[in-house]
Structure 1
């Protein structure tokens, strides 16, 4: 099912090459492209939620398959003051905040994040711009983190607030964020990656932490994560669609 989905996206993307070259922001405003995503979202969400095992794994690969040049896109080095200051101090003062609808709010150092139960996986990253790369990721299991924070019964989504501002807006909605439901949050391959290809996660790929939610497209893999918020809905966050790109026309569910 997953491989067919990837092939479908590749075929659909072949008709949109000129749009890909324009970049994600222009894709989001193109009705043809968002129409493709709407069809893809409905198909993939039904398949994953109604047909496949919710714990089914995305394909994993051998070390020999790792891409020599894993493309980085989006923000490559945040210029937000808080990120710049933390980076200058090698993130010694960084705390990963976990709050919202939790019984035990957390504020973890990177050492504490690295001490959580972890997972290592070699997976393929598929971008809506039409490229794919394979990388090796190691990170804290999101499920272990959420179990430690103890979600309240009304929690339905996890929102990832990030350091990088992609667009200057008066309402502050230009700062990057993403969200996933609890099925994906507790999936065994969903991790907060701190290592990539057996080295510390590079800044251009999201240092210090990057979400890896392997059964979804690349724009869901939030970089520069600073805070996790458990919520019952996301209507009051950003522009209310559940993520920076969904707020601008992309589909919230990007399953593959």
Structure 2
């Protein structure tokens, strides 16, 4: 096992879970200006705490293989009802391509085979869901940092955005498509990977095949599944709801550090 953050950031995790649970249990509150102010303040405290108290290169705890959970819960979408995605599933993602563009000098288009040829990282980590459950799993994939270095980010790039195949309740609209974003500190962190294997096997559809983001120092809703495209951007305000993610646009915190 590698270096750890064994202190799970109790205060930070509690703030993130409390605010998300508040919204999940009482959606009408999310429209109230005073609630939004409270949630924004807890997010700022979470981000400040992690950036101040924990090194940007510190690793989340990694576990032994005999600690892997016998069953890893599949949350959210488990089989996207998208014709293009289902066609990829049918042919084993043989003609699927990940694109990486936006504020880069060299846009990329990589097949799953291309990604598997790149240097990889394997890690056994704990997935903490905002709903209150946790599971330990083994993930293998390509470090996001390696892709960003190959694409050569432009100086003005500040965020990395992930666009996904799953649709959460607003079928047929762009707003319904899942998306997520992270800042550069997390984008280049050694444990931030695009996983194509889980527990020693090809990543299952229920867990985000062909590619799932793993950002091990944040809560589970940041771990975007079914990643189809990546974009480097200067800001988040012009993206859909303007808060940097599907759930964030609906009131969740953008920074969900643990």
Structure 1, unaligned runs of 5 or more: none
TM-score by length of 1: 0.89
Residue 44 of structure 1: how far off its partner (Å): 2.4
Q: CA-to-partner distance for each residue in 1:148-185, whole Å, 9 max, x for gaps?
A: 00001110000000011112168621100000011100
Decide whether the 8 Å contact of 1:28 with 1:245 is kept in 2: no
CA distance in structure 2 between the aligned counterparts of 1:237 and 1:12, rounded to whole angstroms: 22
Please tell me whether the aligned partners of residues 156 and 232 of structure 1 are also in contact (alpha carbons under 8 angstroms).
yes
In structure 1, what is the equivalent of residue 139 of structure 2?
Answer: 137
Residue of structure 1 equivalent to 2:170? 168
**Structure 2 partner of 1:228:** 230
- The 1:170/1:63 distance shift into structure 2, 3 A limit, reads closer
* Root mean square deviation of aligned Cα: 2.6
Distance 1:44 1:64 in 2: 32
What's the counterpart of residue 5 of structure 1?
A: 9
In the alignment, what sits opposite 1:124?
Answer: 126
Instruction: Give a deviation string over 1:52-104, Cα, whole Å, max 9, x none.
Output: 21000001111111000111111000011110111111111100000000000
> Among residues 52, 55, 58, which one is paired with 1:56 in the alignment?
58
- In 1, Cα distance between equivalents of 2:154 and 2:16: 40
Counterpart residue number, 1:103? 105
Number of matched residues?
251
Q: Which moved more, 1:139-148 or 1:167-176?
A: 167-176
Paired residue for 2:245, among 240, 243, 246? 243
Distance 1:234 1:38, change over 3 A: closer
- Partner secondary structure for residue 173 of structure 1: helix
Structure 1 residue 49: Cα displacement: 1.4
2:193 to 171, 191, 194: 191
| Aligned partners of 1:5 and 1:44 also within 8 Å | no
Q: 1:83 aligns with which of 69, 77, 85?
A: 85
The correspondence for 2:214, drawn from 206, 212, 215, is 212
Gaps of at least 5 residues in structure 2 are none
Distance 1:239 1:167, change over 3 A: same
Equivalent position SS for 1:42: helix
- Report the CA distance between 1:38 and its aligned residue: 4.7
Contact 2:119 2:142 in 1 (8 A): yes
Return the match for 1:153 from 147, 155, 160: 155
Asked if the contact 1:143/1:187 (under 8 Å) is kept, the reply is yes
Structure 1 226/125 Cα, relative in aligned 2: closer, same or farther at 3 Å? same
TM-score normalised per structure 2: 0.88
